[in-house]
Chain A
């Protein structure tokens, strides 16, 4: 039982490049989330999904897109990276609103 895993762990992009961050969970959770963590700003929700095939915007969705084609995977895409997207990205999942939310180890992204 690996829990929540994220790929890659680190990445450096140039401005304008694109990339996809992959999140996978093996707990059969319905709800999945993408957060970003920045110094002084705390953790903020980017996008979330309440089930396979569904996605919705969180607090800071601009510049990001997501997809949830399979229940266990939640992908976060950056179409044209900007330096303001330099951050640590965390994926999380939970069974429902009552149960614990579990986090992945994070992806450290630098955009130059």
Chain B
């Protein structure tokens, strides 16, 4: 059974810092890994989707990497801003068996960027 873990659970940084959020998964047989942002009381916004054959994906100040063999992904946020404050979730789509595109989520990292 796939399990996804995110470290740290919470992170507080001053504005302008570069930061890294970590995600690990136990079953390396995945189709892809997706990073989401969730603001308080809101839905999930997709940030990046990285396929199992890819090593990196970039969108603006965000860069996601994937090391499938070690079961790890990282989300790098450059030059953080107060508007980046949110909960960040990673989720894996496990391949094989009765795969039906279900996402297995980590518990999330609560990010606070203070001015």
Could you tell me which A residues sit within 8 Å of B by CB distance? 31, 33, 40, 42-43, 45, 48, 50, 56, 58, 90, 92, 94, 96-106
Check: B62 CB closer than 8 A to any chain A CB: no
Residues of B within 8 A of A103 (CB): 36, 43-46
Can you list 22 contacts pairing A with B, beta carbon distance less than 8 Å? Answer: A31-B100, A40-B107, A42-B106, A42-B108, A43-B89, A43-B103, A48-B102, A50-B100, A90-B43, A96-B101, A97-B32, A97-B101, A98-B31, A98-B51, A99-B49, A100-B34, A101-B34, A101-B46, A101-B103, A102-B46, A103-B46, A104-B43
Q: Which 8 A-B pairs have the closest CB atoms?
A: A103-B44, A97-B101, A105-B43, A43-B105, A100-B49, A31-B101, A103-B43, A97-B31
Task: Decide if B105 touches A106 in the complex (CB within 8 Å).
Answer: no
Least distance between B89 CB and chain A CB atoms (Å)? 8
Task: Decide if B46 touches A58 in the complex (CB within 8 Å).
Answer: no
> Which residue of chain A has its CB nearest to the CB of B99?
A97
Check: B61 CB closer than 8 A to any chain A CB: no
Task: Decide if A101 touches B101 in the complex (CB within 8 Å).
Answer: yes
Could you tell me which B residues sit within 8 Å of A by CB distance? 31-32, 34, 36, 42-46, 49, 51, 89, 91, 93, 95, 99-103, 105-108
Residues of B within 8 A of A33 (CB): 101-103
Residues of B within 8 A of A58 (CB): 102
Residues of A within 8 A of B100 (CB): 31, 48, 50, 56, 97
Residues of A within 8 A of B105 (CB): 42-43
Residues of A within 8 A of B46 (CB): 100-103
Least distance between B96 CB and chain A CB atoms (Å)? 11
